[in-house]
Structure 1
Amino acid sequence: MTEIFNEKTIGSIECLGKKFPSEEARRDFYLEILAERLKDPTFRGIEGFPVGSDEAILALSDPPYYTACPNPFIKDFIEFYGKPIIEASKYDVTPFSLDVVEGKNDPLYAVPSYHTKVPPKAIQNYLLHYTKPGDLVLDAFCGTGMTGVAAANCANPGRDLTDRFSVYEKGARRAILVDLSPAAAFIASIMNSPLDEHLSSGVSGVLGEFIKKEILPLYTFKSGNAVDHFDYAVFSDWGECANCGGSFLLYDVIIDTKKPCILSEYPCPHCGAIIKSESAKKSFEAVFDPWINDTTRLAKTSMVLISKKVGNRAIRTKPTELDVRHYEEVGSRVVSLVPAKLEYTHMTHERNNLPEYWGITHIHHFYTRRNYYSLARIAGIKDAQLRRAALFCALTIMENNATRRNRFYIDKRRPNGSPIGPLSNTLYVPTLQTETNIGRKMLQVLESLQKVHSSWPKTRSIVSNQSATNLAQIPDASIDFIFTDPPFGGNINYSEQNILYEWWLGIKTNNQAEAITNSVQKKRIQEYTHLLTLVFSEYARVLKPGRYIVVEFHNSSNTVWHAIQHALEKSGLIVANVALLDKIQTTLHQDHKAAAVNKDLAITAYKPIESLIRSCVLNSQISQSVWDFVKEHLKHIPIIKERDGLINYISERDPRVLFDRMVGWFIRQNVYVPLSHQEFRAGLVEKFLERDGMIFLPDQAKEYDKRRASVSTAPQMELFVSDERSAIEWLTNFLKSNPSTYQEIYPEFTAQLGAGWKKHESKPELQRLLEDNFIEFDGFGECPSPIHIYLSSIFKDMRGLDKSNPSLLHKAKNRWYVPDFNKAQDLEKKREKSLLKEFETYKTFTGRKIKESRLEVLRAGFRAAWAAKDYKTIIGIANKLPEDTLQEDEKLLTLYDLALTRAADGI
């Protein structure tokens, strides 16, 4: 399809098949349609509709490509650019198996500041692999729109990317970008359209001249006999001694210039008492605030330093009385945007209690008076396009530079001190605060935009500001690929932190459907999981059958990890691979915190084809449907994963994981599979091929064998023992290669039961695990083959001996080994009976909570109750379990969810 975005032809442009004499005419045409839609209460009732007036929404929007509300033109975009569904057999893309390692030094990535971003080149890896030019790509947690940037720049991906792929097609993909945050959606709209002339014209353009004339003069200081513009000023809090009551400027006492560092404790300059910074009192003052027409109690601060860079050297001076008077004069001017009082939120009132400990009660208290006034001037620009461009520049510097959160830091790397930006993911205001010259920073943004002009997207994405829980504008099965980076639990409270962005836009987040955990919003892990399930259900609905979704995951919480997996599976999507997505650079927080996660995971899942669903639901031969599922699922799993020259074990090809995926899939289809794990394993061996403990289709096995022949070391399965099931798996692997006595097994097994054990899971006795799952040779009859093979390979004097040799039998006696299929089946039935017997004790439990339990007992009992349609038992037991037990086990959570649904429907 010919590129038509922003392309002028004989005095006209085209947009979604319509011709207009100019871009302004295009905007006016669609703004009129949008204005009519805003009058419809049903339209305003769409989930996640932002909080803001019609005027504010229309002023910010650039329709049809971007609306500061749910975008009513998405369907038109899809009809114009979408492709018909092709048969799944014709979409023969193999799963992407490489770990992605891409740094954050992409110039486009560096332009906007936001809480989290994924480098566009990282996303391009997936786009080049899974899509073709013109394909529709969706990201409903788009943030600053890096998925759209990646999609557009697939037109020219560069050698560093294309060298990784043997097969790929250059050409822009079409992105549909959605975000709940008005700030994120606005930034994404600028990043995903040809660079606006106000931005591309740089410091000499209309916007540059406005900044130089209206904003820069606000940041002047006395430099000798002249007046000059500074880069930044430093403000310091005042402290108060709890011992003598004296107050003092903290800048004068907390800095050790010899080490150099900021002291964690220091003497009171009045009485000498030692004060610890973590518990130090702030000094407050009551001041009249003309902007809110009221007296406020604020933490007392003073300007202590002014810095200007001359060449490569920073010139630091103490502010003069003239400098202070200039600051106070600017801070007393009338502002067009009267500051609002902060709403009660987790970040402002519960986590930090900003009103109590900082005196921060209104939005402008996060800014110096001068910076708030500067931003108010920018937000008050009348021309809509110029205002959009100016707001984009302001928001790109907002997170790191514009607020009082910007820290002034002193250490060995910064002996003279320098700004280092805010403490991420908090609204913390430091003791030493940097006031950045906003005018100078905005001019720097304009200069950087000129430098990246050539790599800026040439095509347009379509951007919508709404919740991802309901994407009704997107038709079923219309999307070719999804890349998404959803919020993870309580990592970042986006809507609360975005008050510093959204205030200037005049529109704020409607956080009712925000997928986070948050005490004030009354969202626990259950509510978070429910919201994510709605999102992934929408993803599953709009994705074409057989196509893929990649979910970036960044969290150290097991509960959140299970919530993501549960939401994916409940939506009908099937997980196929988990790989590394390394953005290389770490944050200061990740460098200093041992538990901080500095690498992300990319979870790949796919939407099953229609024929698989029909086979599952309609096929009377359940066993055949099982193998249909396995065959289809294996097609979507990587064949080879390599890292550092070694072939990695692919856990998704493990028979146990395949069994769990299969059972989970059929449970979701409301079909009971009367197939034990041992029977399933026997069927795998019969119908498919096994290599190094992994299951392959015949053609996949050939490809694996070819690569495996060039590597001497077999891939090793990584196994972490955290519950009874993983303990059995560890014992199985150990005894397969080392049939051993109890005394030999005990120390090895005990070493595995470390800190990773699940909190509410009772630790099993080794003897019981061995008796329920393995066989001990009693010394009578022939030596079992596994033990015979092991002893013959380990001990020279055992080689060549007959299985009935007395010396061999003596050595083999009391060794435990992994049984063959028939004996394993008998053991499995015996163990299942024992588990269900123990489950009866849970059913008769009369206390409030079952504090410690066996997951294997719960899983067996839930499975049996579900098969018997005894949903009451599942719900009753679940209500007696600690929250972590249920939330951290996707098998229990799945059956509990289904039981609730079936019980509510009266099934």
Structure 2
Amino acid sequence: MTEHQPELIPQTNSTETPEEQAKRDEYRRRLVEYLKDPTFRATEGFPIGTDEDILALSDPPYYTACPNPFLPEIIDQWQQEREEIRQKLGLKEEKYQREPFAADVSEGKNDPIYNAHSYHTKVPHKAIMRYILHYTDPGDIVFDGFCGTGMTGVAAQLCGNKKEVESLGYRVDNQGVVWEGEKAISRLGARKAVLNDLSPAATFIAYNYNTPVDAAAFEREARQILREVEQECGWMYETWHPNCDDPNRVKGRINYTIWSDVFVCPNCGKEIVFWDIAIDQVNEEIHDTWNCPGCETLLAKSSKRDSSALKAERGQETRFDRELKQTIRQIKQVPVLINYSIGKKRFEKKPDLFDLELINKIEDSEISYSIPKDRMPEGSESRRNDAIGLTHVHHYYTRRNLLTISIFIGCVKKYQNLLHLRDAEIWASTGVTEGSSKLNRERISGLPSKLSGTLYVGSTIRETNAFTFLQRKLGKLFDERIRKIENNPIILTTQSSSENHSKSNYLDYIFVDPPFGGNLMYSELNFLWEAWLRVFTNNRSEAIMSKEQHKGLVEYQGLIQKCFDEFLRVLKPGRWMTIEFHNSQNSVWNAIQEALQRAGFVIADVRVLDKQQETFKQANTTAAVKQDLIISAYKPNGNLEENFRLKAGTEDGAWEFVRYHLGKLPVVNGSNGTAIINAERQAFLLFDRMVAFHIQRGVMVPLSSPEFYAGLEQRFTRRDGMFFLPDQVAEYDRTMLNAKKPVQLTLFVNDEKTAITWLRQQLDPDSGGEPKTQGDLTNDFNRVMNRAKHEQPLELIELLKQNFLQDAEGKWYVPDHNKATDLEKVRQRALLKEFKEYTESSGRLKVFRSEAVRAGFADCFKRQDYETIVTVAERLPEDVLREDPDLLMYYDSALLRKK
């Protein structure tokens, strides 16, 4: 087999002046020199690929398929441009002030830009636009360290597109001021964007999403290439209508072919076509069991479905692999249905003799262009199909589609003079490589799909016509992508986000959608794309949980924290980072939160991203995450950090942090026009944030919880159970003057801490409650209480006695802060006494009082007794330790200091 060797991407663009082209050539020459430097190649996350292949993807200085060495000089240039823009708009750095902001992540998923190229996870660019408009000004520099398809870059650019901004429901006046109702919220103008990802496939997709192309030239060249491809491979998608034996037959164009697994009866050995025996097309059902047509034995794909059925084995066949030049064994699949068109009419038929002979002819065809033949890498996803014989990249395609995609890419590479057009066309081909593969399942509904986040191959697959798929993909690009992106204020780099990117304190805002623990194996899922691009992810620093990579929760948290450490370094003081997060595991959410706090960020807001009211469980620090969350965190400004160092461990230092933190929180928290209690302004979370700020900086916490709660009452104003600064109270009162009382967060009660908070809601008039008797509370308490299995049972009456007071009528009420302080001191003594019992016992602690452990850890940390914290923590169930953010924070901090 003769292969065309990879060629360097051409060095010209149709719209560039000679001076611009000379500058671009100089950047390419410099990149060649960098690639020869072993130190440069030792950069964390440097991708796997030859110099030639890396150069073939790169478009320096703005995009490199490796660490971008030109980032510092471009940042310097952008900083100068930013200052000019700010002077023109009259913006002053010292007046920057923003509250946390969250938007509905579901917005914009049907937008043509969003759907132009698939990816495993993606936040719609219109949702990100809301964040960027809120937190930044024109010319500001935005960063996304896990950029994926580059939606943050698209969003940053489209903040300068009036029509796109107005599509969000905002109004833009003649001066470019963006209004939401009667409030000016931002200014129209593109923002700069720095995008980074570990995956070369991701940054290549992002580059093409964010790079403008001459639409007319692109369409002209793409149509010419499609004509050439059709001449070479069009015959592979032809069929006869109604069949090859009909004397009046006419040629049709195949839209797709359905292939089915063949199973073997373990009783009689008869081969059974799954499509014929298990698919009920009339009733749109897939039968879990079926009878063998040869011996009537009850069979199933899996005996787990029906224990009375025998498991039918997948049929296998031996064939010679031309690309590997060896005999291989794979599952047997046969074509069972062809969907085709005559003009605009669609028809279906079973494959006839011509169709079967055509498939055999294609199987015998040589492939003259380069195709990926790489072995699938180690991994739970990438090796999941080894058992059925799909061991190499080319096995994931029918030979017909493998030929078509390789022919298309080969034709694209023949065009030497139009860099951006060529990249856009190769980008379009990556957009069809999944949908044209065997991952494309045929479902009973008739709508094919890839099982998201996996490389699963079903028992029935739809072999899409790769040529018409390419036509449709390129047609969408003619109309949608190119016309919206008008400039190119972005830079892309391919490396680990934990690596030093540039100078410190230069970013104005960060939006990231990080990996979610073990939810997705990105490097494995991207391997099919990267095999076509010939540059691969270096997964050594990939922040995931993976048995194959020997990465558990601890390793994941460490890798994520290294990234957050770098994000803190490059973000300007007082500026914001937004983290979009989804994971159903509480321990992963806590790992993200812990990594943020250890890096030095302060969490100011956590919100659920859907149209329903957020629950307390999802909004507080002990939540199990069931939906997408938006985490708003800020980098404390230099004055706070400097003053804190001078007052570290003192009450003044603690209250200075609280004042600063309250100033960062939204005054009115609303959702869909309804005011909601802001948990971050409630006493328990303010205390948690203050403690975390001290612990993560290795400083003794100067206030106990009763002292802290008493101090809040003395220093700040309380409204509706929330605390405000003096100037914030006036704004809150004005806003709430004609509004209903804010809605209380729905509380999920699973331990003593949340039980006390729930009781406070019920009994405190400021929170919408009123004094009640034990009898009034009992039924509701039993209904909401969902005690964790490790939590020591505590009766309602004990919780009431230890935390509240009873009036003459027998009703329990929330005491004023002086009496509450006395109660809390008594409670703390009881908790520490119980903690001492834990320290004097031995063996695993299976059932215990979490509040006692928290109180004991706090006391030990104050006394610098890190050894006891570590000893007791390692006796707790590991899942409990990892899912309780307070315990985890003390344990991790004690580990660091114990060493």
> What TM-score range do you get, normalising by the shorter chain?
0.7 to 0.9
The verdict on how the C-alpha distance between 1:758 and 1:489 changes in structure 2, with shifts beyond 3 A counting, is farther
C-alpha distance in 1 between matches for 2:838 and 2:405: 62
Identity of aligned residues (%): 41
C-alpha distance in 2 between matches for 1:289 and 1:11: 45
1:351-395 residue CA offsets vs partner (Å, 9 max, x unmatched): xx4222x22222222211222233333444355646533320111
Alpha carbons 2:443, 2:449 under 8 Å: kept = no
1:668-698 residue CA offsets vs partner (Å, 9 max, x unmatched): 2222122122222222222222111111122
Alpha carbons 1:291, 1:338 under 8 Å: kept = no
Is 1:192 equivalent to 2:205 in the alignment?
no
Q: Could you tell me which residue of structure 1 aligns to residue 426 of structure 2?
A: 391
Is 1:344 equivalent to 2:378 in the alignment?
yes
Q: Could you tell me which residue of structure 2 aligns to residue 285 of structure 1?
A: 317
1:475-507 residue CA offsets vs partner (Å, 9 max, x unmatched): 111000111111111111111111111110111
C-alpha distance in 2 between matches for 1:888 and 1:252: 49
Q: Could you tell me which residue of structure 2 aligns to residue 881 of structure 1?
A: 876
1:69 to 53, 56, 66: 66
1:67-106 equivalence runs, <5 A: 67-82=64-79, 83=82, 89-96=94-101, 102-106=107-111
C-alpha distance in 1 between matches for 2:324 and 2:104: 53
1:51-200 equivalence runs, <5 A: 51-82=48-79, 83=82, 89-96=94-101, 102-156=107-161, 157-161=164-168, 162-163=170-171, 165=180, 166-167=183-184, 168-195=186-213, 200=218
Alpha carbons 1:375, 1:504 under 8 Å: kept = no
Q: Could you tell me which residue of structure 1 aligns to residue 793 of structure 2?
A: 763
Alpha carbons 2:61, 2:70 under 8 Å: kept = yes
Deviates more, 1:825-834 or 1:440-449: 825-834
1:11 deviation in Å?
8.7
C-alpha distance in 2 between matches for 1:693 and 1:98: 25
Alpha carbons 2:261, 2:334 under 8 Å: kept = yes
C-alpha distance in 2 between matches for 1:583 and 1:45: 46
Q: Could you tell me which residue of structure 1 aligns to residue 285 of structure 2?
A: 261
2:366 to 322, 326, 334: 334
C-alpha distance in 1 between matches for 2:648 and 2:122: 48
- For 1:464, the aligned partner's letter is T
Is 1:559 equivalent to 2:587 in the alignment?
yes
Q: Helix, strand or coil for the counterpart of 1:875?
A: helix
- For 1:290, the aligned partner's letter is R
- For 1:874, the aligned partner's letter is I
1:136-535 equivalence runs, <5 A: 136-156=141-161, 157-161=164-168, 162-163=170-171, 165=180, 166-167=183-184, 168-195=186-213, 200-201=218-219, 205-223=223-241, 225-279=249-303, 280-309=312-341, 313-335=345-367, 336-337=370-371, 339-349=373-383, 353-356=384-387, 358-380=388-410, 381-383=413-415, 385=419, 388-399=423-434, 401-411=435-445, 418-452=446-480, 453-470=482-499, 472-535=500-563
C-alpha distance in 1 between matches for 2:158 and 2:350: 48
Alpha carbons 1:239, 1:283 under 8 Å: kept = yes
The verdict on how the C-alpha distance between 1:604 and 1:897 changes in structure 2, with shifts beyond 3 A counting, is same
The verdict on how the C-alpha distance between 1:875 and 1:125 changes in structure 2, with shifts beyond 3 A counting, is same
Where structure 2 has 5 or more consecutive residues not aligned to the other structure, the ranges are 1-11, 172-178, 243-248, 304-311, 613-623
- For 2:397, the aligned partner's letter is Y
Alpha carbons 1:198, 1:207 under 8 Å: kept = no
- Give the alignment's TM-score, normalised by structure 1: 0.87
Q: Helix, strand or coil for the counterpart of 1:409?
A: coil
C-alpha distance in 1 between matches for 2:487 and 2:742: 47
C-alpha distance in 2 between matches for 1:196 and 1:448: 15
Q: Could you tell me which residue of structure 2 aligns to residue 415 of structure 1?
A: none
C-alpha distance in 1 between matches for 2:740 and 2:750: 31
Deviates more, 1:56-65 or 1:83-92: 83-92
Q: Helix, strand or coil for the counterpart of 2:470?
A: helix
Q: Could you tell me which residue of structure 2 aligns to residue 4 of structure 1?
A: none
C-alpha distance in 1 between matches for 2:543 and 2:16: 43
Alpha carbons 1:50, 1:182 under 8 Å: kept = yes
2:721 to 682, 693, 699: 693
1:564 deviation in Å?
1.5
The verdict on how the C-alpha distance between 1:268 and 1:323 changes in structure 2, with shifts beyond 3 A counting, is same
Alpha carbons 2:152, 2:193 under 8 Å: kept = yes
Is 1:844 equivalent to 2:840 in the alignment?
yes
1:759 deviation in Å?
4.4
C-alpha distance in 1 between matches for 2:751 and 2:506: 42
The verdict on how the C-alpha distance between 1:288 and 1:442 changes in structure 2, with shifts beyond 3 A counting, is same
Q: Could you tell me which residue of structure 2 aligns to residue 749 of structure 1?
A: 781
1:468 deviation in Å?
1.1
Q: Could you tell me which residue of structure 1 aligns to residue 40 of structure 2?
A: 43
Alpha carbons 1:50, 1:507 under 8 Å: kept = yes
1:657 deviation in Å?
0.7
The verdict on how the C-alpha distance between 1:666 and 1:577 changes in structure 2, with shifts beyond 3 A counting, is same
Deviates more, 1:866-875 or 1:745-754: 745-754
Alpha carbons 1:616, 1:669 under 8 Å: kept = no
C-alpha distance in 2 between matches for 1:175 and 1:44: 24
1:173-226 residue CA offsets vs partner (Å, 9 max, x unmatched): 011000111111100011111126697325764433343334444323234644
- For 2:119, the aligned partner's letter is Y
The verdict on how the C-alpha distance between 1:576 and 1:309 changes in structure 2, with shifts beyond 3 A counting, is farther
Alpha carbons 1:616, 1:666 under 8 Å: kept = no
C-alpha distance in 2 between matches for 1:207 and 1:842: 74
Deviates more, 1:744-753 or 1:628-637: 744-753
C-alpha distance in 2 between matches for 1:745 and 1:148: 52
- For 1:895, the aligned partner's letter is Y
The verdict on how the C-alpha distance between 1:250 and 1:612 changes in structure 2, with shifts beyond 3 A counting, is same
- For 2:436, the aligned partner's letter is A
- For 1:824, the aligned partner's letter is A
Q: Helix, strand or coil for the counterpart of 1:291?
A: coil
Alpha carbons 2:103, 2:131 under 8 Å: kept = no
- For 1:54, the aligned partner's letter is D
Alpha carbons 1:198, 1:206 under 8 Å: kept = no
- For 2:52, the aligned partner's letter is E
Where structure 1 has 5 or more consecutive residues not aligned to the other structure, the ranges are 1-7, 14-19, 412-417, 585-595, 778-786, 788-808
Alpha carbons 2:103, 2:127 under 8 Å: kept = no
1:777-818 residue CA offsets vs partner (Å, 9 max, x unmatched): 4xxxxxxxxx4xxxxxxxxxxxxxxxxxxxxx4xx24x4333
1:66-98 residue CA offsets vs partner (Å, 9 max, x unmatched): 111111111111111024799864212343366
1:721 deviation in Å?
0.7
Alpha carbons 1:93, 1:130 under 8 Å: kept = yes
The verdict on how the C-alpha distance between 1:309 and 1:544 changes in structure 2, with shifts beyond 3 A counting, is farther
C-alpha distance in 2 between matches for 1:59 and 1:75: 23
The verdict on how the C-alpha distance between 1:327 and 1:274 changes in structure 2, with shifts beyond 3 A counting, is same
Deviates more, 1:732-741 or 1:34-43: 732-741
